Amino acid sequence: MSTYHTISNDHLSLEDISDILLSDKLLELSDSAKQKITSCRTYLDNRMERQNDPIYGINTGFGSLYNVKISNENLTKLQENLVMSHACGTGDMVPNTIVKLMLFLKIQSLSYGHSGVQLETVERLVAFYNNDILPVVYTQGSLGASGDLAPLAHLSLPLIGKGEVFYKGEIVSSEVILEEFNWSTIQLKSKEGLALLNGTQFMSAYGIYSLLESYKLSYLADLVGSISLEAYDGRIEPFNELVHLVRPHNGQLATAKRVREFVEGSEIINQPKAHVQDPYSFRCIPQVHGATKDALSHIEKVFVTEINSVTDNPNIFINEDEIISGGNFHGQPLALALDYLKVAMAELGNISERRIFQLVSGLRGLPTFLVDNPGLNSGFMIPQYTAASIVSANKQLATPASIDSIVSSNGQEDHVSMGANAATQALQLIINVKRILAIELFNASQALSFRSPKRSSDFIESFLRAYREEVKFVSEDQVFHNQIKESIQFIDDFCIENELLFD
């Protein structure tokens, strides 16, 4: 039986988004949302009847064409032309999960009753969402300034019977879908095209999805780092709460506590040590992983604010009898947050690769490259190369996109955020971090095997038993691509099975 999430003015949290995605909930508009949408549209229609003066985006051209007045009989054509002309995205297709999030967030933003759209338009977007009719959207084309114009144009094309959609595993034309569902095209009224195209839903959807993935990887970085600590015969003292209470960053405290819990009861962590200190990649796990946790908390606040906002232009205020052209579509808050996300997550991969390097270096009683007969066997030499290559790629991806800007629309749009580029870079970087952690887990599980018969904690031993069912101990050289691929898949499955969503 289907369950529903009701679109309303209630505050939408990251937990709500997670629940909607995990539970595959359908959407419905609350009576309040319907009333707000309808009242706003009625107000706009009445305002248009009594006013001949130009109102930007409603009876004028767009961008630098803001001073061109459009006659009333051409307003529908104006809006349709806007959607079609802006649908010039290129590059890869946006993943379906993110397209679905874009639909959801666009519906949410339009439901507040400040955008002037028809109720019929919003209900059609809800129907797309509920029937998994996902418009084909492309990754390139948005400057992250006047909203995500090109991606949102592609998201909106099916409303007017244009473009393509992904439906039941195939890409089909929107006309086919309209015919199959016996739907008419939406006749866009004044302001509607701009309401659909203005907005930050491309950046927001990427950001929300990337943030959810980042929280999973933050947890996994602590877990895999703990396994590496055990494999390296590391010391527990740097994780003592006393150390962190005198520098009480929340993320640092949380990381140290989690590592202590992961290794609790371990014979290895509690055995006498021949060394008095560990390298920073082990000793400073709380400080480095913790700083990423604190960054994620800040980034979450930015994105939660955004998804509870109205981000198109102009904004309509019924009670105040005002239609105001502003700049809520500008992606600067998101661009900065996405760049911060890139840097913070890149560091989890960076320190992970350093632990991999330490594990294969023939130190602390471990065999060089973690195999017998090194020389005959290269062992885990090249997985470290692969991790290093990915870390270097992430450093390039982490270069801030928001420091760039480029003039568009004949100088009218003279500062842009480039947040859309930051968004796609962030997702690729986060995928890369998962690959690095999978390689670290591959190395750490191999290294920990050489500590037998000493045992790690019950939790880690149980985790590794499950891992060993998928990724076997390596006795001699083989095609390691396969084990790395299986290690990545194990991480994905672990997150799903444990509903691992939040740090």
N-to-C CA span, the chain: 30
Q: Convert 12-46 to b/e letters by CB count within 10 Å (16 or more is b).
A: bebeebbebbeeebebebeeebbebbeebbebbee
329 in Cβ contact with 364 (< 8 Å): no
Of 288, 100, 292, 285, the closest CA to residue 214 belongs to: 292
Question: Is pLDDT at 65 greater than 80 in this prediction?
Answer: no
Give the single-character DSSP code of 185: P
The pLDDT tens digits for 374-429 are 777 888 899 999 999 999 999 999 999 999 888 887 777 778 888 999 999 999 99
The pLDDT tens digits for 334-353 are 999 999 999 999 999 999 99
The pLDDT tens digits for 134-166 are 999 999 999 988 889 999 999 999 999 999 999
| Cα–Cα dist 290/309, whole Å | 30
Question: Is pLDDT at 10 greater than 50 in this prediction?
Answer: yes
Could you give the maximum distance between any two Cα atoms of the chain, in Å?
88
| Cα–Cα dist 46/42, whole Å | 6
| Alpha helices (runs of H) in 24-172, residue ranges in sequence order | 31-50, 75-86, 96-110, 119-130, 149-156
pLDDT of residue 373: 78
| Cα–Cα dist 62/145, whole Å | 14
pLDDT of residue 95: 97
| Among 399-403, 432-436, 491-495, 498-502, the range of highest mean pLDDT | 432-436
Residue type for 239, please? F
Give residues with Cβ within 8 angstroms of 326, minimum separation 6.
313, 314, 315
The model's pTM: 0.94
pLDDT of residue 413: 75
pLDDT of residue 372: 82
| Cα–Cα dist 374/377, whole Å | 5
pLDDT of residue 63: 61
pLDDT of residue 503: 42
| Cα–Cα dist 112/87, whole Å | 25
> Which domains are delineated in the chain?
4-199 (1.10.275.10), 206-312+325-497 (1.20.200.10)
pLDDT of residue 502: 45
The pLDDT tens digits for 72-116 are 667 778 889 989 999 999 999 999 999 999 999 999 999 999 999
Token digits for 340? 């911060």
Q: How far is CA 248 from the centre of its chain?
A: 28
In this structure, of 14-28, 123-137, 279-293, the range with the lowest mean pLDDT score is: 14-28
% of the chain residues with pLDDT over 90: 82
pLDDT of residue 147: 84
From the CB of residue 462, how many other CB atoms can be counted at a distance below 10 Å? 11
The pLDDT tens digits for 209-257 are 999 999 999 999 999 999 999 999 999 999 999 999 999 999 999 999 9
% of the chain residues with pLDDT over 70: 96
Residue 10 CA: distances (Å) to CA of 115, 176, 324: 18, 36, 25
Q: How far is CA 418 from the centre of its chain?
A: 16
Q: Convert 324-358 to b/e letters by CB count within 10 Å (16 or more is b).
A: eeeebbbbbbbbbbbbbbbbbbbbbbbbbbbbbeb
pLDDT of residue 62: 61
The pLDDT tens digits for 431-479 are 999 999 999 999 999 999 999 999 999 999 999 999 999 999 998 889 9
Residue 391 backbone phi and psi in degrees, to 5: -60, -40
Q: Which residues are catalytic?
A: 56
Residue type for 279, please? P
The pLDDT tens digits for 261-296 are 999 999 999 999 999 999 999 999 999 999 999 999
